[in-house]
């Protein structure tokens, strides 16, 4: 079982994930529910495109119209239909916000979804068994009772604390996620230290104490097996069962790497936060950095953004200060005399006329710490966009459980 936690706009949501087991006919019903949720979301996007001035309430009302017009849509729980409409509005609202901010490049115009892998229920359409070892879905899709397997005990939480239930399809099976409203905070003894972090490709990060953490390079290590699995897929006949099985194996390979990245980011972020009272790091625009095709694979493999998200989350949990500072010039400025020393990316040593000679990343970490301490009076993160920790678009509205930057 995997535990996912993130900070919402209003309240903290703890997401507990359980592997689920059932009969093949039940999972066919789950697939049908997921396709129906995708259909409703896409229809809501089409309505917004066709009718000027369509708002969130209009999309909610449109769900009832779709249920009357399409029998398969009526089989899905009414709140699940509303959650699908909220997914559509979430993408629309994000597009509006990007336009207001004047972000360069594409603004994320809402697109039709082609491969939805989850359906979300709110407070109806499901019921937990008394022993909390199984869940029963009560809508007309015919999913029925699914067994839950995990290490966390749902008895610790009241039924009214469960705000959302998601059915998620992955390469290695089906999962049930419970979004639970809890207020998590932990007290740790202050360390009295402040640290600056400079992330990189040679080392995962270098701090202002010249301590480094190795870059695990999970994709590079698993690339050989990925290529072999991809070759098997390309050799199979399209539409055949052999190709379907080969695709499933390829999906499992990618899923393993994704889980390795997340596990590493969570452990590193928790260790850094619990060991320091103030943590400063660069406000990197990963989307722009990966435009360099020579480094895009390595940048994505390092998973800097996920590390930052968990840094900010644990900073809020443990009551520590997290500061995202502008990244411009951090590797060019001298930490001693603050003169600008131009260096190419291949130059790994900072050498200034004042006599300061330091490793490039170590010097940058000191500059990041200095800039962060200069803004302690107004700490926070600059430009971190709301996103779901699983990398999927969430259907929850802005007042519920959309994750945000954590400002300590």
What pLDDT, in 10s, does the model give residues 32-67? 999 999 999 999 999 999 998 889 999 999 999 999
Average pLDDT over residues 253-262: 93
pLDDT digits (tens, 9 = 90+) for 103-149: 777 888 999 999 899 999 998 999 999 889 999 999 999 999 999 99
- Each residue of 243-274: b (16+ CB within 10 Å) or e? beebbeebeebeebbbebbbebbbebbbebbe
Provide the percentage of residues in the chain whose pLDDT is more than 90: 47
The pLDDT value recorded for residue 84 is 94
CA distances from 154 to 13, 15, 100, 138, 217 (A): 14, 11, 42, 20, 35
Look at residue 232 in the predicted model and tell me its pLDDT: 93
Q: Cα separation of 142 and 242, whole Å?
A: 29
Confidence category of residue 256, pLDDT binned at 50, 70, 90: very high
The C-alpha atoms of residue 109 and residue 96 are separated, in whole angstroms, by 9
pLDDT confidence of residue 61: 93
The Cα 355–Cα 252 span in angstroms is: 52
Residue 332 has pLDDT above 70, yes or no: yes
The Cα–Cα gap between 366 and 318 comes to 24
Q: Which tokens is 328 given?
A: 């411009």
Contacts of residue 108, defined as CB under 8 A and 6 or more positions apart, other chains included, come to 91, 94, 95, 98
Which conformational region is residue 303 in: left (phi greater than 0), alpha (psi within -120 to 50 degrees), or beta? left
pLDDT for 11: 52
What is the mean predicted confidence (pLDDT) over 212-218?
Answer: 90
| Predicted confidence (pLDDT) at residue 335 exceeds the cutoff of 90 | no
Would you state the pLDDT for residue 6?
41
Taking each continuous run of H as one helix and of E as one strand, the counts in the chain are 10, 15
Q: Which two tokens mark 26?
A: 């039940």
Res. 152 pLDDT band, cuts 50 70 90: confident
> What pLDDT is attached to residue 12?
66
pLDDT bin (cut points 50, 70, 90) of residue 377 is: low
> How confident is the model at residue 398, as a pLDDT?
36
């Amino acid at each position: 079982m995997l535990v996912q936690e993130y900070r919402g706009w209003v309240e903290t949501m703890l997401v507990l994930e359980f592997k689920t087991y059932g009969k093949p006919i039940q999972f066919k019903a789950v697939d049908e529910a997921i396709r129906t949720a995708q259909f409703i979301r896409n229809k809501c996007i089409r309505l917004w495109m066709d009718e000027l001035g369509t708002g969130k309430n209009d999309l909610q009302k449109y769900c009832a119209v779709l249920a009357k017009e399409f029998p398969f849509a009526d089989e899905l729980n009414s709140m699940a239909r509303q959650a699908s409409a909220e997914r559509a509005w979430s993408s629309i609202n994000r597009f509006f916000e990007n336009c207001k901010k004047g972000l360069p490049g594409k603004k994320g115009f809402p697109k039709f979804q082609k491969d939805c892998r989850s359906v979300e229920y709110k407070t109806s359409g499901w019921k937990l068994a008394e022993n909390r070892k199984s869940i029963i879905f009560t809508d007309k899709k015919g999913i029925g009772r699914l067994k839950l397997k995990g290490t966390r005990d749902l008895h610790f939480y009241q039924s009214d604390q469960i705000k959302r239930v998601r059915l998620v399809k992955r390469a290695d099976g089906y999962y049930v996620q419970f979004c639970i409203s809890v207020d998590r905070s932990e007290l740790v003894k202050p360390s009295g230290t402040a640290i600056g972090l400079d992330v990189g490709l040679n080392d995962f990060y270098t701090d202002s104490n010249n301590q480094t953490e190795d870059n695990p390079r999970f994709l590079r290590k698993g690339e050989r097996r990925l290529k072999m699995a991809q070759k098997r897929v390309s050799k199979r006949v399209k539409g055949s069962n052999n190709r379907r099985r080969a695709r499933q194996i390829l999906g499992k390979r990618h899923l393993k790497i994704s889980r390795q990245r997340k596990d590493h980011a969570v452990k590193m972020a928790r260790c850094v936060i619990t060991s320091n009272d103030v943590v400063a790091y660069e406000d990197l625009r990963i989307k722009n950095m990966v435009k360099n095709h020579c480094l895009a694979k390595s940048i994505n493999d390092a998973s800097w953004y996920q590390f930052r998200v968990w840094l900010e989350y644990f900073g809020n949990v443990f009551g520590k200060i997290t500061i995202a500072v502008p990244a411009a010039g951090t590797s060019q400025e001298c930490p001693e005399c603050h003169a600008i020393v131009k260096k190419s990316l291949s130059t790994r040593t900072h050498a200034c006329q004042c006599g300061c000679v330091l490793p490039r990343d170590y010097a940058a970490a000191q500059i990041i710490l200095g800039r962060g301490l200069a803004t302690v009076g107004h700490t926070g993160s600059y430009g971190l966009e709301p996103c779901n920790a699983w990398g999927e678009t969430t259907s929850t509205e802005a007042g519920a459980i959309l994750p945000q930057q954590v400002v300590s």
